[in-house]
Structure 1
Amino acid sequence: MEDYYLFSSGELERKDNTVRLTRSDGKYKDLKIEVTRDIYLFGEVSTNTKCLNYLAQMKIPVHFFNYYGFYTGSFYPKEQNVSGTLLIQQVQAYTDPKRRLYYAKKFVLGAAKNLLRNLKYYQRRGRNLDDSIKEITSLIRQIDQVHDVEELMGVEGTIHRRYYASWQSVFIPDVDFSKRVRRPPDNMVNTLISFLNGLMYTTCLSEIYVTQLNPTISYLHSPMDRRFSLCLDISEIFKPMIVDRLIFSLINKNMISEEDFNKESNYCYLSEKSKRIIVSEYDKYMKQKVR
């Protein structure tokens, strides 16, 4: 199966038994719809219900990103693999404080072990990360001792703050990054994190779609209206191994630099060139086999 990342602006429409993106200059691209898994739209694209109905029939999610490259939402076809029994079990696990905490701890522990693995990887390559590794290892031991999800989120936040503070030792070039800033991202690294986290979120959403799980019922992040919070839970595990490693690789191999970003006041966002580079590398990462 194949993912399509479309950067051109134009009109997305059904053309016989395929989907076509037609640009304003008349040039077009036909998608191999029978092997399409997801469609990612980064340009200004218009479509119609005929096209969306066809995509829903083919069970293909469409993910939308704004001008700045940040994820704004998804077209999520009607679920085919529904299970009332599993839905009840998901809800029961959430409403039982002990069970919810059990699953939430597993998400945090999985994420913490993976980010610690990243630091140990660079420690073996001569980076001065001893103090960060010791502190995070100590914090990981606290995960099993917490009594509720709120307390667990506090430990998770401390782990991530210490983790991000150590990134300066991972980067080879001189990079401006000391802490995580989300809204809005204020420098190259924070922008990379926000952009790639959005991609990781959509990847998790697409994986959940082919299961019988309900993406709105979560355990670490509180379920809320207008978001698939289970994707946030699951993506926590994979972000260190995919998002963070990709950021380290992009910067340390000089594939991305400050010149590839646009800055306005305290706001930093991706150029089209940088989006294409990042998405291409992300796609390669997702196609790698884990051994």
Structure 2
Amino acid sequence: DDLPALTRRSIPELRATAGGGRIPPPLVDRPKCPRCSLVTICLPDEVHSLHAPDIPPRPLAVPWHEALPLYVQQFNAKLAKKGDMLEVSKDDKVLATARIAEVSQVVLMGNIYVTTPCLQALMERQIPITWHSYGGWFHGHSLGHGHKNVELRTAQYRASFDEARCLRIARGLVAAKIANSRTLLRRNWKPEEKPERTLLDLKKMIEQARRCESLESLLGVEGQAAAIYFANFRELIRRSDDANFAFDFTTRNRRPPTDPVNAMLSLAYSVLARSLTVTLQAVGFDPFRGFYHQPRYGRPALALDLMEPFRPLLADSCVIQAINNGEVHPSDFVSVAGSVNLHPDGRKRFIAGFERRLDQEVTHPLFGYRLSYRRLLELQCRLFGRHLLGELPEYPNFTTR
């Protein structure tokens, strides 16, 4: 009798909470949290740990996602729904199948035909479809109704018009990007003589970024750090006397990339931007309203903001691994009208390497538990939401040592 009575008394409280317009604060050290399916959304231990650093969070969430992206890049292929499966075919020949329940998003590269029943099934399940050019340029994505978290978007829009808050957020993002770039150089340096001067210069620029008093000056510091970083990027690439395996890099260029290394960097940044755009949408953000990158029609500014610290850790690192491990070769690239792009077979291997990188586990420096980079992107997006909603005084950027 006690349980039905308790349930009846709780119903008005639940209704009042749901209609109150404010998300209740996360619970602290409650035994019910480990069994709750929403623990990765409300992050009770993580939020409490950032307020009380002496109390480490419990590793309540699984460190990886069971569902994974489905990539389709076969020219003129068809994507259709067959029962509870997705089927990729061309000229009535089945090329691949995947269970819908095991697909987190569908990534289409080039001219791919998607049937209406397939679109409807994916939208009903809130599985996004992202559309890319044949060369990998991110055009946009299709989704069902989208997230209903109006409170988070309201907080996002309100904060994005606060210049002081935009600058504070941007300073942290750029400082974290420079710090992670410095770490990548230190870890992957090939010559015997260590780049002590370069590392010292980047360390100074981290502090400069934290002290910038305007977005314009911050852009200048970021540009100087990027120039130093990419001037030394070639020293991270393994040398080869065999022309079939040799890559060269002199400077960063894009739109279009004019050499194989820049082509891979551009593709990696595009795939990373797509990943964060989808994650931000799933969390409840508007990915097109940012704080550092200025709003422009069709540009996912918030995704570009939050991906800054992850450019070296995910995109640049993936390019270095693909070259140094022999996963791609100079023969995998084609040059048309001054633009260099990966051949489909090479792009398939490169994207597979990028997805493997997302599945690699890393120890979170603030929380102490291990999780995949794929889960880390979601965790950081949710922590950013907690900051905008006032639960965290600052956004804790991710940096690695």
Structure-1 residue corresponding to 2:142: 75
Contact in 2 for aligned 1:4/1:38 (Cα 8 Å): yes
Q: Output the CA distance in 2 between the equivalents of 1:260 and 1:51.
A: 32
Displacement of 1:28 after TM fit?
4.5
Partner of 1:126: 192
- Name the TM-score, length of structure 1 as normaliser: 0.93
1:232 counterpart residue number: 304
- Aligned ranges for residues 48-87 of structure 1 at < 5 Å? 48-80=115-147, 82-87=148-153
Kindly indicate whether the alpha-carbon contact (under 8 Å) linking 1:69 and 1:270 is maintained by their aligned counterparts in 2.
no
1:4 to 61, 70, 75: 70
Query: Measured at CA, do residues 91 and 136 of structure 1 come closer, stay the same or move farther in structure 2, by a change above 3 Å?
Result: same
C-alpha deviation, 1:42, in angstroms: 2.4
Conserved? CA contact 2:130–2:142, under 8 Å: yes
Q: Which residue of 2 aligns with 1:151?
A: 217
- Equivalent residue runs for 1:243-262 within 5 Å: 243-262=315-334
**C-alpha distance 28-168 of structure 1, shift in aligned 2 (>3 A):** closer
Q: Is the 8 A contact 1:69 1:275 kept in 2?
A: no
Cα distance in 2, alignment partners of residues 268 and 126 from structure 1: 32
Residue in structure 1 matched with residue 100 of structure 2 by the alignment = 33
Counterpart of 2:57?
A: none
**1:277 Cα deviation from its structure 2 partner:** 0.8
For the residues of structure 1 that align with 2:198 and 2:271, how far apart are their CA atoms? Answer: 28
Query: Which structure has the larger Rg?
Result: 2
Q: What's the C-alpha RMSD, in Å, of the aligned pairs?
A: 1.9
Change (3 A) 1:36 1:146: same
Aligned equivalents of 1:198, 1:283: Cα separation in 2: 13
Judge conservation of contact 2:73–2:134 (CA < 8 Å) in 1: no
Instruction: Tell me which amino acid in the other structure corresponds to 2:284.
Output: Q
The alpha-carbon distance between structure 1 residues 23 and 124, as it changes in their structure 2 partners (threshold 3 A), is: closer
Pick from 172, 178, 184: which aligns with 2:238?
172
User: Is residue 183 of structure 1 aligned with residue 255 of structure 2?
Assistant: yes
Distance change (3 Å), C-alpha of 1:72 and 1:85:
closer
Q: Which amino acid aligns with 1:138?
A: K
Note if 1:194 corresponds to 2:254.
no
- Residue 25 of structure 1, CA deviation: 4.2
| Structure 1 Cα separation of the partners of residues 193 and 238 of structure 2 | 10
Alignment of 1:140 with 2:212, yes or no, is no
Asked whether the equivalents of residues 175 and 207 of structure 2 are also in contact (C-alpha less than 8 Å), the reply is no
1:102-152 superposed Cα distances (whole Å, 9 cap, x missing partner): 111111111111111111113497354223212212222211221111221
SS of 1:30 mapped into structure 2: strand
Find the residue that maps to 1:198 and give its secondary structure. helix
Aligned mates of 2:153, 2:141 — CA distance in 1: 22
Q: Distance in 2 between matches of 1:228 and 1:169?
A: 32
Instruction: Using the TM superposition, name which of 169-178 and 201-210 deviates more.
Output: 169-178
Aligned mate of 1:270, from 335, 342, 348:
342
1:17 aligns with 2:89: no
Counterpart AA for 2:153: L
Of 203, 219, 223, 2:291 maps to: 219
Relative to the length of structure 2, the TM-score reads: 0.68
Counterpart of 2:173 (choices 101, 107, 113) is 107
The CA distance in 2 between the partners of 1:161 and 1:141, in whole Å, is 17
Counterpart AA for 1:170: L
Asked whether the equivalents of residues 110 and 135 of structure 2 are also in contact (C-alpha less than 8 Å), the reply is no
Q: Distance in 1 between matches of 2:234 and 2:299?
A: 32
Residues 10 and 23 in structure 1, CA contact (< 8 A), matched pair in contact too: yes
Out of 318, 339, 353, the residue aligned to residue 281 of structure 1 is 353
Q: Which moved more, 1:197-206 or 1:116-125?
A: 116-125
2:219 alignment partner AA: M
Q: 1:208 aligns with which of 280, 296, 319?
A: 280
CA distance in 1 between partners of 2:200 and 2:163 (Å): 31
| Secondary structure of the structure 1 residue equivalent to 2:107 | strand
Gaps in structure 2 of 5+ consecutive residues: 1-66, 240-245, 364-401
**Matched residue of 1:21: which SS?**
strand
Counterparts of 2:166 and 2:175 in 1: how far apart (Å)? 14
Count, aligned residues: 290
State the AA in 2 paired with 1:156.
E
Does the aligned pair in 1 maintain the 2:79–2:113 contact within 8 Å? yes
C-alpha separation between the residues in 1 aligned to 2:206 and 2:269?
Answer: 23
Task: State the secondary structure of the residue aligned to 1:63.
Answer: strand
1:255 positional shift: 2.1
Whole-angstrom CA distance in 1 between matches of 2:277 and 2:144: 12
Once residues 338 and 140 of structure 2 are traced to their aligned partners in structure 1, the CA distance between those partners, rounded to angstroms, is: 24
1-structure distance, mates of 2:252, 2:112: 31
